[in-house]
Amino acid sequence: MFRTFRNLGRVTGIVRTVARHDALFLLDENNAPFFAKFGIALATLGVRPMPDIADKRKGEKLALALQTLGPGFIKLGQALSVRSDLVGDEIADDLATLQDSLPPFETALARQLIEDEFGKPLDDIFSSFEDEAIAAASIAQVHFAITTDDQPVAVKILRPGIEVAFERELELLHWLAENVERHIPKARRLRPVEVIDTLSETVAMEMDLRLEAAAGDELRASFEGDERFKVPGMDWSRTGKRVLTSERVSGVPIDEVTTLENAGHDIETLVANMARAFFLQVFRDGFFHADLHPGNLLVDEDGAIQAVDFGIMGRLDKQTRYYLAEMMIGFLTADYAKVAAVHFRAGYVPSSQSEEAFAQAARSIAEPILGLPLKDISLARLLAQLFTVTERFEMQTQPQLLLLQKTMLVAEGVGRRLHPETNMWEMARPLIEDWMENALSPEAKAAEAMSEAGKLIERLPALITDMSDSVSTLSRDGLKLHPDTVNAMSRGRRPARWPWWAGAAIIVGVLIAAGSRMAP
């Protein structure tokens, strides 16, 4: 009860902030229940929109409101930027430009936080430390420094108190999502609680900079020796939970086209390199940089793309990568039967639905987009629009794909700003087709089956030992049941021999339990 009253008070403040930005339109457009509209009407009594907000688009108003509300809501807005099914295309486009930036905190505090993290004076860690932050966002800020062994580095430091601030905001968002699912049945298909859970997991990763350093190391290993896409090395001796030190890289932000051209770089080649790097991360590795805005992609003097900031990363299992590749090829080749078949085979659409009708729905949203000139085709927007027509097919949101949708949208926007006449997905198409042909060949499937069989054989001795121990324990001590279970079984029954199937069920249960303990 206390949690409810506390959150209602916080929601009142949020609603008033959103009302001042004239951004309450989502409630009317998504059929909010009467009690919610009535409560909001009470909460906003006497609130008037700010005078300088009138000429802005709806999405711009919402973006400004979310920026005012704090870092958790900024992250929520960025997640909504790929959910045109919830907010519409125009609002999604405006939210995609939502910048996660705040003024830097004081340098003296940054120095103190580093000393507290490592338990020694700053001069013992860095020979010099620049006072001015080169970047500042809602979670952390970055300073340049030089180590005591004369290596130029970038030092990322978490904002003081940020963990508590995010915990409070995410707890509120989770409470709101729970109530949406409970009171608005139509919204359950969109799985708002799972969406917030995914957001919470992402933020939790960002709160421990050791995890970010590990992600950067993993991505660097995947592109070891690659001259077109590079990742800075991590300085583990100067990295902790709240401080990350990495190799300092330099270059031109990838969206500064004029500067890049003046430096002699071929812009179309840069787009091709970005498409290739995206393909390799998503399909080859199943591990991708999920925050590819221009500030995180620099072009060095040799034309290589340098990626920085690994706080938001995404993973896709192999089967999901197969489905995604088939889906993308299906759309690019206008094979809507294939698109539908993939959705049903993946379980995204229930088998009770019509595969032919789903193919027709896919055609209805794809043809208007694919009929555009190649340079204007937005595959990211096309995939997002699938959700606008799939409610009647009982298709649920796939939270594991939200980060990928966002990444595709941002990467596509960067590619279009770089070279408007080029479509990066068409550039990546041959790579995807070759990968699918190799990955789905009989030889590849046989090798994968052998690998899985090998893993099972490796676990078999331990599994047999564990099963033997379980049977020995059962023979020595007998089957131990809770007294309540014994009473419930014997209540009102005369003593009798257990039927044969009961003994068999117990043995099967023991074997399953033993096997589950050894499962990966």
Residues with a known catalytic role = 291
H runs (alpha helix) in 184-244? 192-206, 209-222
In SS3 terms, 141-165 reads as EEEEEEECCCCEEEEEEECCCHHHH
The beta strands (E) that lie in 340-462 are given as none
Q: Give helix 318-332 / helix 424-439 axis angle, nearest 10°.
A: 130
DSSP annotation of 398: -
Q: Answer for the pair 307, 289: CB distance below 8 angstroms, yes or no.
A: yes
Residues near 120 by beta carbon (within 8 Å), at least 6 away in sequence: none
Token duo for residue 96: 């995609």
Angle at 147 between CA 146 and CA 148, to 5 degrees: 125
Q: Answer for the pair 319, 452: CB distance below 8 angstroms, yes or no.
A: no
DSSP annotation of 195: H
Q: Give which of 163, 143, 150 is closest to 245, Cα–Cα.
A: 143
The secondary structure of 107-138 as a DSSP string is HHHHHHHHHHHHTS-GGGTEEEE-SS-SEE-S
Q: Is 502 left (phi over 0), alpha (psi -120 to 50) or beta?
A: alpha
**Pairwise CA distance, residues 487 & 387, whole Å:** 52
Query: Given CA atoms 171, 174, 179, 182 in this order, what sign does their dihedral have?
Result: negative
CA distances to 22, 217, 240, 271, 413 from 141, in Å: 31, 20, 15, 29, 25
- In DSSP terms, 128 is beta-bridged to 146
**Pairwise CA distance, residues 358 & 362, whole Å:** 6
Can you tell me which residue has the tokens 């968002």?
173
Can you tell me which residue has the tokens 């933020």?
203
Q: Give which of 323, 355, 321 is closest to 340, Cα–Cα.
A: 355
Can you tell me which residue has the tokens 């199943």?
286
CA distances to 13, 39, 49, 66 from 45, in Å: 12, 10, 12, 21
284-288's contacts with Cβ under 8 Å and 24+ in sequence apart are 284/222, 284/435, 285/222, 286/315, 286/316, 286/317, 286/318, 286/320, 286/321, 287/218, 287/219, 287/222, 287/313, 287/314, 287/315, 288/313, 288/314, 288/315, 288/316, 288/404, 288/407
